[in-house]
Amino acid sequence: MSVKKFHTALLAIAMLLLTACATPLLRGTGDLGVVIERATGSVQIVDTSTQTAIAKVKGLGDLSHASLVYSRDGRYAYVFGRDGGLSKVDLLRGVIERRVIQAGNSIGGAISQDGKLLAAQNYAPGGVKVFSTDTLELISDIPASFGSDGARSKVVGLADAPGNRFVWSLFDAGEIWVGNFTDPRKPHIEKFKNIGREPYDGLITPNGRYYLAGLFGEDGMALLDLWHPEQGVRRILDGYGRGQEKLPVFKMPHLRGWAVAGRHAYLPAVGHHEVLVVDMETWREVGRIKVSSQPVFVIARPDGRQVWVIYAFPDNGKVDVIDVESRSIIKQLAPGRTVLHMEFAPRGESVWVSVRDDNRVIVYDTENFAQRSVLPAESPSGIFFTHRAARTGF
């Protein structure tokens, strides 16, 4: 072989090796998930089958109240930061593909039914902004203005709905707005006023029909039937805490479709040590479950057999497991100091629990409650798996 041919062969081998190093490991996205590391502005990308961390992505800003949604194929995570940052993270390459600062104070968002639009709910300035999932280009800006003086409300409870709609609540105005984004640059906004005082979060049922806003300013909830919006907003669970002294609320509870098991929704009672059981056929209360503190997250196992509960301070170091047949606590776990979030594996055989002050994520077996894995993480909070990509309201 001539010297020239030898050098050419060496160059070809080197290029092949460089290409191999630059190419991400071939894998599907169905096993993947993201753990928010709130103190460091980073996220861990994890594999739910092997229960391992596979990459860390830094530079995501203030993640003190971060949440995210996934692209339809599960490849991209769109991370909403408290500082108004919106970041598009490529899970397969472990990099930030795009990032914009879209508000001063943001607490989450949603992705449209067709997967083309992202909606961000903002505290400051109050309103909803809608972006292209491809480029993060701003498509629409809907200020949450109300009253004669044009004040702007904090937006909460943003959820996606069928028909390329988004639904959200106005905390300060006591309103629910439904936006139809069939024409995303000229959305049609329908407003429902006087729904109750201080809606703090929203839940949309897994079929996308009902939107439920929890009310912080009064005992009760507001229900909107998206099949028949002309019927207006209906009050349910009115006065569920009547005759009881409401306790100080140290952390606002959360409402989402994760609280649905079968025909029942399991909802945290504001200011009470109870989980409310609601029949979603009649939207009437059918039971209450006494729990050991103020519930923040009430999350059903995917098969609906169990409901897991985590709590506000000062009892945020424990997790209770409720059996849905007996409606009683069958197990109490003590993962560590300051449990912030949990997420079930797609088929529910395990649950991942973030323990912020112990800098770890613990994976539990949901049948025998044994620890299966412990993953180090820096001040972990939200845990989000890619199966959310195919679910309404997640």
pLDDT in tens, 166-185: 999 999 999 999 999 999 99
Q: Supply the pLDDT for residue 239.
A: 82
Which phi and psi angles does 237 have, rounded to 5°? 55, 35
Rounded to 5 degrees, φ, ψ at 120 are -110, 130
Q: Which amino acid is at 349?
A: E
Answer whether 0.75 is exceeded by the pTM: yes
Single-letter amino acid, residue 176: I
Is residue 260 within 8 A of residue 205, CB to CB? The reply is yes
Question: What residues pair up with 213 in beta bridges, in sequence order?
Answer: 202, 222
DSSP 24: P
What is the per-residue DSSP string for 133-195? Answer: TTT--EEEEEE-EETTTTEEPPEEEEEEETTTEEEEEETTTTEEEEEE-SSTTS-EEEEE---
Residue 19 is predicted with a pLDDT of 41
State residue 213's pLDDT score.
96
Q: What pLDDT sits at residue 18?
A: 44
Contact in structure between 160 and 169 (CB atoms under 8 Å): no
Q: Which amino acid is at 353?
A: V
What's the CA gap between 57 and 66, in Å, rounded? Answer: 14
Q: Do 255 and 272 form a contact (C-beta atoms < 8 A)?
A: no
Q: What are the residues whose beta carbons fall under 8 Å from the beta carbon of 230, sequence distance 6 or more?
A: none
Burial class (CB in 10 A: 0-12, 13-18, 19+), 13: exposed
Q: How buried is 255 (Cβ within 10 angstroms: 0-12 exposed, 13-18 middle, 19+ buried)?
A: buried
- 367 exposure class (CB count in 10 Å sphere: 0-12, 13-18, 19+): exposed
Cβ atoms < 10 Å from Cβ of 316: 21
**The two three-digit tokens of residue 88, written as one number:** 């598009």
Q: For residues 382 and 210, what is the distance between their CA atoms, to the nearest angstrom?
A: 25
Residue 269 gets which letter from DSSP? P
Q: Is there a contact between 200 and 156 (Cβ–Cβ < 8 Å)?
A: yes
Q: How far, CA to CA in Å, does 44 sit from each of 32, 35, 53, 250, 372?
A: 10, 5, 6, 28, 19
Tens of pLDDT along 76-90? 999 999 999 999 999
Regions in the chain scoring below 50 on pLDDT:
16-23, 243
Confidence (pLDDT) at 17: 47
The pLDDT, as a whole number, for residue 45 is: 98
Q: How far apart are CA 187 and CA 189, in angstroms?
A: 6
